[in-house]
Amino acid sequence: MPEITLLATHQLFNGEQRRYRHYSRYNQCDMTFSVYLPSRALQGYRLPVVYCLGGLTCTDENFCIKSGAQRFAAEWGIVLVMPDTSPRGTDVADANIYSLGQGAGFYVNATQQPWVQHYQMYDYVVTELPELIEKHFPVNEQRSLCGHSMGGHGALMIALKNPQRYLAVSAFAPIAHPIAGTWGQEAFTAYLGENQADWAVYDSTELITQNPPPFPILIDQGSVDEYYPAQLHPQDFVQAARFKGVNIRYHLRKDYDHSYYFVSTFIESHISFHAEAFGL
């Protein structure tokens, strides 16, 4: 049986948008991920890669269908990798609210029942998925992270916990201080338990105060986002980052909301930001 199975492929901006399935040793279930390969990758050139993390209720397909990122990745010669947002399957624990369970993995390694068996999304994104990508696709050692909403939390948090692995991180409307909002509090309680010290190691605002990163950060936030600031708290993260002298660019975008209309409007600047970090 192949290590990864191709599910679909589409021609896009002279490159290919592909979707794959594989069995995850960390999540102990089948996982899907999507990859955009620019034309230069199809020609065998080894290119840098941006891992694009989705938000609550999303799959690996939301970003690749709605963001418009491929047009700019094609221009710069950047591979895009879009993982699913959680484990899935009939044997995988779930909840009857959209902010917990399947579609809401929060990119943590769960320690509590019934989540611990399958919800190891931190190790999946940091270790397992890059191993597969670097084995099966023409990418080089340059990596960065981008995310939207819960995926913005994942991108910031993962980059801050692994500064040696990534050259930059960007986020759209990130859940930037999850322990300060009900989404994060409920998810962290379920996945990690009641001890808030265990939450802090997955909270970007807490992390940046302890270990300011060497790489640049870009955040875009819509001013009429229905979840801003109560669930997102980007201002907490930005204040902490600036206090520590971090290279952070923050834009509060007037009259934009939380949707992919917002993401697609500013995705070009994010791909250019990553290209700059890659030295392209």
Q: Which residues are known to be catalytic?
A: 149, 225, 258
Q: Rounded to whole angstroms, how far apart are CA atoms 27 and 86?
A: 9
Q: How far is CA 181 from CA 28, 85, 150, 176, 280, in A?
A: 30, 19, 12, 10, 38
Three-state DSSP state, 157: helix
Q: Rounded to whole angstroms, how far apart are CA atoms 79 and 267?
A: 15
Q: Rounded to whole angstroms, how far apart are CA atoms 58 and 252?
A: 24
Nearest to 274 by CA among 213, 208, 217, 204: 217
Give me the DSSP letters along 54-96: --TT--THHHHHHS-HHHHHHHHT-EEEEE-SS--STTS---S
